[in-house]
Chains A and B, each alone.
With several copies, the nearest count.
Chain A
Amino acid sequence: MTELKLVYFAWVRERVGVADEQVDVPSAVVTVEDLARWLSSRDEGYASAFENPKLVRAAIDHVHAKPHDPITGAREIAFFPPMTGG
């Protein structure tokens, strides 16, 4: 098990229902994609947030990450929709 801080933004946050949380991630969860899949199985809110994986972006410790990137050693992982700043 790995302890991780997760943070959520915009409609991902609204669907998940919390802005941040500490989680214990099973060791079988290796990549960003694995993590999203594992979260989806928790409840309907998470399932709805991650239902279209193409619309959810991730960052590992403040750096943009891809679905296949490993989460090993990460302290904070963020999930959010495509950005609309500027």
Chain B
Amino acid sequence: MAPRVIIRIQANAFDAAKETDALSSHHDDVGAISTFIGYCRSEGGRLAALELEHYPGMADDEIKRVVDQALQRWPLSAVSVIHRFGVMKPGDGIVFVGTASSHRAEAFAACEFLMDYLKTQAPFWKKEHRADGTVGDWVEAKAEDDAAAARWKINV
């Protein structure tokens, strides 16, 4: 059976529960599902919101490329990647990644790989909105994110 792939870039909130169910629903030999949800944080009350800008045409293409790499590398029966753009409040989900496989090691590895690559390759940028009402800085990329992506030794 061909893997079931869901890729969505949207302004609306996602329902992590529904997305998790969708990963197992078309197949009764799924043994393992790994999911990851990334949230907007207040950074200890400092932030009122994060604004996510994205490059519409490229975001979809780039996520497809990363998902294709994951499908080539691990035997996955389903992959979902949902990434939001726009203004998020602390506690709002920004990204959902889920993978389904027969065994746990593959599901975990693929899920972590997808997150590491989304962080460094997907064209999204976060701008801070401070709790004091001022517009803050653009979030800076972290060297540790590049290191996390580099350990998979794949050029996407």
Contact = CB atoms under 8 A, between A and B. Distances in A.
Would A and B touch once assembled, by the CB under 8 A criterion?
Answer: yes
Interface in A15-59: 59
Interface string B47-72: 00000111101100110000000000
Pick the most buried of A11, A76, A78, A83: most chain B CB atoms within 10 A of its CB: A83
Contacts of B94: 85-86
B91 to A, nearest CB: 17
B61 A84 contact: no
B140 interface: yes
A78 B58 contact: yes
Contacts of A67: none
A10 B57 CA distance: 16
Contact of A80 (B55, B121, B139): B55
Contacts of A63: 58, 61
Contact of A62 (B38, B57, B83, B118): B57
Size category of the A interface is: 10 to 19
Given A85-B83, A86-B94, A9 B123 contact: yes
Interface of B: 38, 52-55, 57-58, 61-62, 83, 94-95, 104, 115, 118-127, 138-141
Contacts of A6: none
Nearest to B142: A84
A83 B57 contact: no
B37 to A, nearest CB: 11
Contact of B61 (A62, A80, A85): A62
Contact of A86 (B55, B95, B140): B95
A7 interface: yes
A10 B127 CA distance: 8
B58 A83 contact: no
A54 to B, nearest CB: 11
A54 B156 CA distance: 20
A81 interface: yes
A84 B54 CA distance: 10
A64 B55 CA distance: 12
B114 to A, nearest CB: 9
B95 A9 contact: no
B59 to A, nearest CB: 8
